[in-house]
């Protein structure tokens, strides 16, 4: 056999091999071909890479959801700003029960001390949202817009307001323990009793308690009886 014949024999042999390989590869999909040819295999293959990418994306999504939930659940207002807590210090510093209500403009509440305990009355009228004022002459709150009147405890007395004044929850705190707090009863909103002078007073302006309907106000009944 000449050299040329030998070369032709080899070439023909390879043609047979290539043809056979093409037939094997033809039915496969792109992913399988890449897999078969080991494309992209430098440590991990393409399938592994996609798996890791999906896992990373899912982990990131879970982390972001967790952070969003944490932000939603955690307090959004810092202490001393409206919407947050106001630490008023020792109960011994509460104003006397016969003193006029004290305005706290940063917290948007009137602090009133009564025989049954302190109250933090939201400064906004329950009619159409005007800012009512304390009227020392008549010993009651008076709204300048439509003249609704409320007692020192925030109870509805007279006027177009549909309910008594809203108030913020007050916690009576001993160290880290809440001893008692404003009680949102169905018949009456009860102020927290302060029996121990060593406790502290905290007003939570993030927890507004809606005033009860005007028809349920004891001050209204008393006013009509007088
Ligand atoms: S807004 Fe206060 S009485 Fe109307």
Cα–Cα distance for residue pair 220/178, rounded to 1 Å: 33
Residue 75, class by beta-carbon neighbours within 10 Å (0-12 exposed, 13-18 middle, 19+ buried)?
Answer: exposed
Q: Over its length of 226 residues, how does the chain's per-residue pLDDT go in tens digits? A: 554 555 455 544 554 454 555 555 555 666 665 565 554 455 677 778 788 888 888 888 888 877 777 666 665 788 999 999 999 999 999 999 999 999 999 999 999 999 999 999 999 999 999 999 999 999 999 999 999 999 999 999 999 999 999 999 999 999 999 999 999 987 889 999 998 878 999 999 999 999 999 999 999 888 888 7
Q: For residues 146-159, b (16+ Cβ closer than 10 Å) or e, as one string?
A: eebbbbbbbbbbbb
Q: What does the pLDDT read at residue 224?
A: 83
Q: Is 124 in the pocket of ligand 1 (CB under 6 A)?
A: no
Is any ligand 1 atom within 6 A of the Cβ of residue 123? no
Task: Indicate yes or no: pTM above 0.75.
Answer: no
Please name every residue paired with 131 in a beta bridge, in sequence order, or none if there are none.
124
In ligand 1, the atom with minimum distance to the C-alpha of 143 is: 2
What does the block give as tokens for 136? Answer: 């020392």
Residue 45 Cα to chain centre, angstroms: 45
Q: How many CB atoms lie within 10 A of CB 77?
A: 13
Residue 125 alpha carbon, nearest atom of ligand 1 = 2
For residues 182 and 167, is the Cβ–Cβ distance under 8 A? Answer: yes
**Angle at CA of residue 178, ends 206 and 218, nearest 5°:** 65
Q: Is 128 in the pocket of ligand 1 (CB under 6 A)?
A: yes
In terms of C-beta distances under 8 Å and separation of at least 24 residues, what long-range contacts does 40-46 make, across chains too? none
Tens-place pLDDT, residues 52-68:
888 888 888 888 877 77
CATH class held by domain 85-225: mainly beta
Contacts of residue 25, Cβ cutoff 8 Å, sequence gap at least 6: 33, 36
> Among the atoms of ligand 1, which is closest to the Cα of residue 148?
3
| Integer Cα distance of 48 and 39 in angstroms | 12
pLDDT in tens, 98-146: 999 999 999 999 999 999 999 999 999 999 999 999 999 999 999 999 9
Query: How many other β-carbons are positioned within 10 Å of the β-carbon of residue 120?
Result: 30
Q: Give the per-residue pLDDT at 7.
A: 45
Give the domain ranges of the chain.
Answer: 3-73, 85-225
């Amino acid at each position: 056999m000449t050299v040329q014949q030998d070369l032709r024999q080899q070439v023909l042999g390879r043609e047979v091999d290539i043809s056979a390989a093409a037939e094997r590869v033809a039915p496969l999909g792109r992913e399988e071909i890449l897999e078969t040819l080991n494309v992209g295999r430098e440590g991990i293959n393409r399938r592994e890479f996609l798996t890791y990418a999906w896992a990373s994306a899912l982990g990131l999504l879970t982390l972001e959801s967790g952070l969003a939930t944490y932000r939603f659940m955690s307090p959004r207002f810092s202490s001393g700003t409206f919407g947050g807590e106001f630490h008023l210090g020792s109960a011994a510093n509460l104003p006397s029960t016969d003193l006029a209500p004290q305005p706290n403009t940063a917290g948007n509440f009137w602090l009133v001390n009564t025989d049954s305990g302190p109250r933090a009355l939201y400064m906004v009228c329950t009619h159409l949202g005007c800012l009512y004022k304390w009227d020392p002459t008549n010993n009651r709150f008076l709204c300048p817009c439509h003249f609704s009147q409320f007692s020192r405890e925030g109870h509805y007395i007279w006027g177009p307001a549909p309910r008594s004044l809203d108030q913020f929850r007050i916690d009576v705190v001993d160290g880290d323990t809440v001893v008692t707090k404003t009680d949102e009863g169905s018949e009456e909103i009860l102020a927290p009793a302060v029996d121990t002078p060593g406790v502290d007073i905290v007003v939570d302006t993030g927890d507004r308690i809606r005033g009860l309907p005007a028809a349920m106000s004891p001050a209204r009944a008393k006013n009509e009886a007088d």
